Amino acid sequence: MVIEGLEELSKAIETNVKQYKKAVESVMPTINRVYESYQSSIKEMNRIITPLVEHFKYNKLVPPQVFDFLVKIRVPLSIEEIKELQKLETKEDRKLFKIYTRKTKGKKIYNPQFYVNKELCDAICILIKRNGSSIAVKSNIVYFNAKTGALDVYGLVTYMKKDSDRSKLCTYFFGKKRGPREWEVEDIVLELTDGVRKFDPEYKKKSYDWVNGKITELNKDVQESLGIEELVSYEGGRFVLNSTNRL
């Protein structure tokens, strides 16, 4: 009886093993396809990531405020210095590092850049790491820097094209951090045209329409760049800084 029981157990085990083998064999093609797909994905990922890692070793993105500050203190290498370092460069030993930023002008995006050596690049990376808040600094002022074209609206920054009417408007409105925040139509007309265009009280609406068109363009630019609506509004017979936007 014992022997017969062992024989039955042996047959049952053999049957189970055969069934398990068939089950494994039936799913192996699927497993192989999944594994091959996984390997392919890894290879594709490495194909994309490896060049990116190499790129960001030598190309550093910084906030616009930091970029302008570095330019102001003359960090960028001169053309002569760049040429000298280029002579020493090899594929294995890069000498030039690009510093660039992202600036907006309405819907337009552009990326100004300059070059530094490794020591300066390392120092800039430390600066960025320790000052993360420099990307967007909360502020209670609206200020325009005519030299750089940067319009700082409560800590958010966009840029105005130099010598444009919007740049002239911003210089007049916000060129002083603690300047007045309301302006007469007559004064704006004289400022924008350097006194060439005269203000006639009898045709005040015509002057208002002309000025309002310029301010509408400025407001649209700021809204598209920073998401701030109606930076300058018309209240009580004069244009004013719209206080509803204050943070």
| Strands ordered across the beta sheet of 142-145 | 142-145, 150-153, 156-159
Quick one: pLDDT at residue 133?
Answer: 41
Quick one: pLDDT at residue 2?
Answer: 46
Domain ranges of the chain: 1-54, 62-135, 142-245
* Angle value at C-alpha 182, between 181 and 188, nearest 5 degrees: 115
State the Cα–Cα distance between residues 65 and 70, nearest whole angstrom.
9
- Which one is the CATH code of 142-245: 3.40.50, 3.30.1360, 3.30.450, 1.10.10? 1.10.10
State the Cα–Cα distance between residues 144 and 165, nearest whole angstrom.
14
Quick one: pLDDT at residue 44?
Answer: 63
Question: Mean pLDDT: which of 1-5, 117-121, 176-180 is highest?
Answer: 117-121
Quick one: pLDDT at residue 154?
Answer: 82
State the Cα–Cα distance between residues 97 and 15, nearest whole angstrom.
68
Least reliable range by pLDDT among 10-14, 143-147, 240-244: 10-14
Residue 198 has pLDDT above 50, yes or no: yes
Residue 12 has pLDDT above 90, yes or no: no
Least reliable range by pLDDT among 3-17, 148-162, 170-184: 3-17
Averaged over 7-24, what is the pLDDT?
64
Query: How do residues 124-141 score in pLDDT, each as one tens digit?
Result: 888 777 654 444 455 678
Q: What is the mean pLDDT of the chain?
A: 78
For the chain, give the DSSP string: -HHHHHHHHHHHHHHHHHHHHHHHHHHHHHHHHHHHHHHHHHHHHHHHHHHHHHHHHHEEE--HHHHHHHHHTT-SPPHHHHHHHHHH--SSS---EEEE--EEETTEEE--EEEE-HHHHHHHHHHHHH-GGGGS---S-EEEETTTTEEEETTEEEE--TTSHHHHHHHHHHSSTT--SEE-HHHHHHHHHTT-SPP-GGGHHHHHHHHHHHHHHHHHHHHHHH----SEEEETTEEEE-GGG--
Query: How do residues 42-82 score in pLDDT, each as one tens digit?
Result: 666 666 666 656 666 788 888 777 788 788 888 899 999 99
Least reliable range by pLDDT among 100-104, 169-173, 186-190, 231-235: 100-104
Residue 242 has pLDDT above 70, yes or no: yes
Greater confidence (162 vs 55) lies with: 162
Question: Mean pLDDT: which of 5-9, 62-66, 150-154, 190-194 is highest?
Answer: 150-154
Greater confidence (228 vs 216) lies with: 216
Quick one: pLDDT at residue 114?
Answer: 93
For 68-81, give the DSSP string: HHHHHTT-SPPHHH
Write down the residue that tokens 């990326």 correspond to: 111
Model confidence, pTM: 0.49
Quick one: pLDDT at residue 129?
Answer: 72
